[in-house]
Structure 1
Amino acid sequence: MTAILGGGLGGLSTGYYLLKNNMNSNNNLKLFLLEATNYCGGWIKSIRTKDYVFEQGPRTIRPKGLTGLNTLNMMQDLGLSEHIAPIKSDHPAANIRMIYVRNNLHTLPSNLMSVFTKSQPFSKPLIYALFNDIKSPYKILPDDSIYNFVERRFGKEIADYAISPMICGICAGDAKEISVKFLMKTLFEYEQNHGGVIKGLFKSFLKPKSDTDLDLSELAKKAQEEKWNVYTIKGGLETFPDTLQNHLIENNVNVSLNTKVNEIEFVDSSSVVLKQANGETHTANHVYSSIPAYALANLVKKQHPRLAQTLSDIPFVTVGIVNLYFDKDEPLIQPAFGFLVPPIENSPILGVVFDSCCIPDQKGTVLTVMLGGKWYKEKFGENATEKMLLEVALKEIVKILDIKIDPTAYHVNILKQCIPQYVIGHYERVAKIREYIASNNLPISLVGCSYDGVGINDVIYSAKQQVEENPCLQG
């Protein structure tokens, strides 16, 4: 008997891969999933109407790289190919991304020629950043913040106006705290091994390219051929976890909602008991935990306080989401993906996504304002209300986008402790957690955004890897 703890995308994907691997073996898989809330899907949640879709969490998926292609394989296998809406490389949402600096919106460079041209807010053409890398000294470091690394290699302006807002958009975090290995592990290794990024790039060109062993689906091949930038699902991204959940149920996985576990007891290396507050228990040979690290810490602290402490050391941030719908025939914004606000601007918002440009079948103008993140408590205090966030969002929309009419519809959500922060030392911390589990022969595997990446593709691929690393534990 195998248990999955948590019905977010990590838990659902774990169930998918356990079923998939079981089809190729003779194991008699008995699998159950426990979810504390009344729905599966985690932070992926869509509000659908005939006129608009409000996305409460992620709204698009990147098709690039091994993890992106792996997700597309899953999409096709689940029968979602016909529901996918791609944004190709020539679409405004793919090549027009802006930042708000000194009371103005600036379009970031998006092609090779633009790096040779001076564009605000940068004081020089971006090609000068490459010269900075060539002439700059380097430090031997086990890890560093992504801000420090970029400032050292490419200059302060790149760190302030390119990397810092990008980190806000990806994980609502502070680039001065986030590990360089979060997004730039390879570039950091170039610096550490070769003295600079450009030097490392040149040497990497001389090495033979290693092919992945991933067999591409027709959908994945299509994404490559048509040069998709990102994609979403018609009718809302929530269709994805809904389809995954139905797939599990159709394959005899027992999915239990409103089932909150408050303690995990490890009996031995092949027996674990999941205890509920009402006294009910669930026994399994192995458990895959997809819940946040801080939540898992509370469940294991009685038996394994050291493990609980290390899990608790992974910080999380809260993000406010304000969705706005304006029922006007003429667009209120220029076609673009949206804009981000660098932390140096000291703004109450992280950025705005132009959903009516990114998501199909939207009428009027649809925007999503993101607030808080690393600075949530600083900007809004301990007891921020949805009304407060709405007022701030509308004020910033008037100031930045000059939209002075009231929205026809809106929705505000406060996503508490929703995104983990991969601060300096994160990957060493995760290795320490997994080493503790291995050395104590605990029958548990860790999946989800707390450990191996915060994006949708990362979470899915993490589930795939953890299932493949424990093939003998599925029966």
Structure 2
Amino acid sequence: MAAILGGGLGGLSTGYYLLKNNISNNNNLKLLLLEATDYCGGWIKSIKTKDYIFEQGPRTIRPRGTVGLNTLNMIQDLGLSEHISAIKPDHPAAKNRMIYVNNTLHLLPSSLKGIFQKSEPFSKPLIYAVLNDLLSPQKELKDDSIYNFVERRFGKEIADYAVAPMICGICAGDAKEISVKFLMRSLFEYEQNDGGVIKGVLKSLFKTKNQEEIVLSELAKRAVEEKWNVYSIKGGLEIIPTVMKQYLKENNVDLQLNSKVEELEFIDSSLVNVKKGNGEVLPANHVYSSIPSHALAKLVSKQHPELSKLLSDIPFVTVGIVNLYFSTQKPLITPAFGFLVPPIENSPILGVVFDSCCIPDQKGTVLTVMLGGRWFIEKFGSDITKEKLLEIAVKEIKTILKIDESVAAHHVNILHKCIPQYVIGHYERVGEIREYISCNNLPISLVGSSYDGVGINDVIYSAKTQVEEDVNK
């Protein structure tokens, strides 16, 4: 029997791919999924009414690259193609992305023409950033922060006003701490191997690309042909884990909710005792852990304190999410994806997503405000109330967007330790963790956002690659 820890997207995806491999290989593997709460889906949660949808976690998915196309393959296989709502290149949410600097919203350049024109808050046209890279010397490093790398290659303004807010939007983190390998591994390698980013890009044009082959579903092909920017799910993103959970149940996966695991006891290379909080002990041949690394650290601390320490060293941040609904039909916002706030602005908010522009079937204006992240404790302390977060979010929104209307509905959530931070040295640390597991012949595999990427696509692909690696051993 294989046991999956966690019923979030990582655990559900692991179950999905184990079943797929099980069916294709004619095996009779028994699967058990243990979720500590009464809900499957992790941070993906949607509140749907007749007038609006509040997404409490992720809201859109990018279809780009192997990992993005893989997700679309899975979505089609689960019968969700008709639920897709795609945002194409000509949509305002694809073209218009803003940052808030010096008490003003600025539209970021979104075309080739735009990089040759000066646009606030940048003091020069962005083409000067390209020249900066060509003239900057190479600096040999094993790793660096994404902020330092971008400042070195493209200048301080690009680091402050483009990359730092982008990191806030992606992982609620500090670009001065996050590893450049998190988002810009290939660009960093161009600098290390070729002396600069532009030089590396030009050299790569003449090299044969060894891209991973992936068979595309009809849905994935359509995304490529129509050049989707992002997409959402009609009725809310929660539909994805809901359908995945149903798929697992229909294929006889033993799915146990409200089942908290207290300890993992490794007996040998093919037996581990999964000890539940109620005293029940479940023997498994292999464990797939999709729970956060800090949670897994507690389960292995008794037998493997060194592994526990490595797992605990992956930092996480807390994010406040405030969903706001304004029922008026009067336009309150400029059509756009939303805006981000650079950390140098010292704002209590990280950014705002214009959900009524990005998500279909919304009446009125729907906004989601993100607060805190890396700076949550610094800004709000450890005992901030949801009521206070709402007050802060509404005040900021009304000031920045100049909205006078009252909020018709709202929802506030504090997502404690929800996003792992891939700080400098993250990938080496994950390598050490997996090396320890391998050297000690522990029957456990790690999937999910703690290790292989924080986005929806990354989590799903992490499950796929780990399952296939185990199956092919």
Task: Give the TM-score normalised by structure 1.
Answer: 0.99
Tell me the equivalent position of 1:151.
151
Tell me the equivalent position of 1:311.
311
**Cα distance in 1 for residues equivalent to 2:278 and 2:8:** 23
**Cα distance in 2 for residues equivalent to 1:48 and 1:258:** 24
Q: How far is the alpha carbon of 1:330 from its aligned partner?
A: 1.4
Tell me the equivalent position of 2:220.
220
Tell me the equivalent position of 2:70.
70
Structure 2: tracts of 5 or more residues without a match: none
Tell me the equivalent position of 1:102.
102
Q: Give CA deviations for 1:306-345 in whole Å, capped at 9, x if unaligned.
A: 0000000000000000000000011210100000000000
Whether 1:279 aligns to 2:279 is: yes
Whether 1:430 aligns to 2:430 is: yes
Tell me the equivalent position of 2:263.
263
Q: How far is the alpha carbon of 1:89 from its aligned partner?
A: 0.8
* DSSP-derived class of the 1:245 partner: helix
**Cα distance in 1 for residues equivalent to 2:22 and 2:262:** 29
Q: Give CA deviations for 1:4-62 in whole Å, capped at 9, x if unaligned.
A: 00000000000000000111113211001000000100000000100000000000000
Tell me the equivalent position of 1:242.
242
Whether 1:442 aligns to 2:431 is: no
Q: How far is the alpha carbon of 1:451 from its aligned partner?
A: 0.1
**Cα distance in 2 for residues equivalent to 1:232 and 1:411:** 20
* DSSP-derived class of the 1:470 partner: helix
Tell me the equivalent position of 2:354.
354
Tell me the equivalent position of 1:416.
416
1:227 alignment partner AA = K
Structure 1: tracts of 5 or more residues without a match: none
**Cα distance in 2 for residues equivalent to 1:61 and 1:201:** 27
Q: How far is the alpha carbon of 1:211 from its aligned partner?
A: 4.1
**Cα distance in 1 for residues equivalent to 2:46 and 2:304:** 38
**Cα distance in 2 for residues equivalent to 1:451 and 1:212:** 20
2:99 and 2:108 in contact (8 A); partners too:
yes
Q: Give CA deviations for 1:272-329 in whole Å, capped at 9, x if unaligned.
A: 1111122111111000000000000000000000000000000000000000000001
Q: Give CA deviations for 1:74-114 in whole Å, capped at 9, x if unaligned.
A: 00000000010000011000010000000000000101000
**Cα distance in 1 for residues equivalent to 2:87 and 2:312:** 38
1:108 alignment partner AA = L
2:322 and 2:370 in contact (8 A); partners too:
yes
Tell me the equivalent position of 1:323.
323
After superposition, the CA RMSD in angstroms is 0.7
Q: How far is the alpha carbon of 1:361 from its aligned partner?
A: 0.1
Tell me the equivalent position of 2:82.
82
**Cα distance in 2 for residues equivalent to 1:26 and 1:44:** 33
Answer with 206-215 or 103-112: which moved more: 206-215
Tell me the equivalent position of 2:298.
298
Tell me the equivalent position of 1:35.
35
Q: Give CA deviations for 1:379-406 in whole Å, capped at 9, x if unaligned.
A: 0001010011001001101110011222
Q: Give CA deviations for 1:163-198 in whole Å, capped at 9, x if unaligned.
A: 000000000000000000000000000000011001
**Cα distance in 1 for residues equivalent to 2:396 and 2:300:** 43
**Cα distance in 1 for residues equivalent to 2:334 and 2:181:** 34
1:329 alignment partner AA = Q
Whether 1:124 aligns to 2:124 is: yes
* DSSP-derived class of the 2:391 partner: helix
Q: How far is the alpha carbon of 1:209 from its aligned partner?
A: 2.3
**Cα distance in 1 for residues equivalent to 2:37 and 2:164:** 34
Tell me the equivalent position of 1:17.
17
Task: Give the TM-score normalised by structure 2.
Answer: 0.99
**Cα distance in 2 for residues equivalent to 1:337 and 1:246:** 32
**Cα distance in 1 for residues equivalent to 2:226 and 2:22:** 34
1:426 alignment partner AA = H
1:115 alignment partner AA = I
Structure 1's 393 and 259: CA in aligned 2 closer, same or farther, altered over 3 A?
Answer: same
**Cα distance in 2 for residues equivalent to 1:92 and 1:223:** 18
* DSSP-derived class of the 1:10 partner: helix
Tell me the equivalent position of 2:187.
187
1:309 alignment partner AA = K
**Cα distance in 1 for residues equivalent to 2:435 and 2:211:** 29
**Cα distance in 2 for residues equivalent to 1:331 and 1:65:** 35
**Cα distance in 2 for residues equivalent to 1:278 and 1:72:** 39
**Cα distance in 2 for residues equivalent to 1:105 and 1:293:** 38
Identical counterparts, % of pairs: 74
| Pairing 1:161-180 to 2, within 5 Å after superposition | 161-180=161-180
* DSSP-derived class of the 2:229 partner: strand
1:461 alignment partner AA = Y
Q: How far is the alpha carbon of 1:472 from its aligned partner?
A: 6.2
| Pairing 1:320-469 to 2, within 5 Å after superposition | 320-469=320-469
**Cα distance in 1 for residues equivalent to 2:134 and 2:286:** 50
* DSSP-derived class of the 1:287 partner: strand
1:330 alignment partner AA = K
1:144 alignment partner AA = D
2:259 and 2:277 in contact (8 A); partners too:
no
**Cα distance in 2 for residues equivalent to 1:382 and 1:208:** 52
2:433 alignment partner AA = I
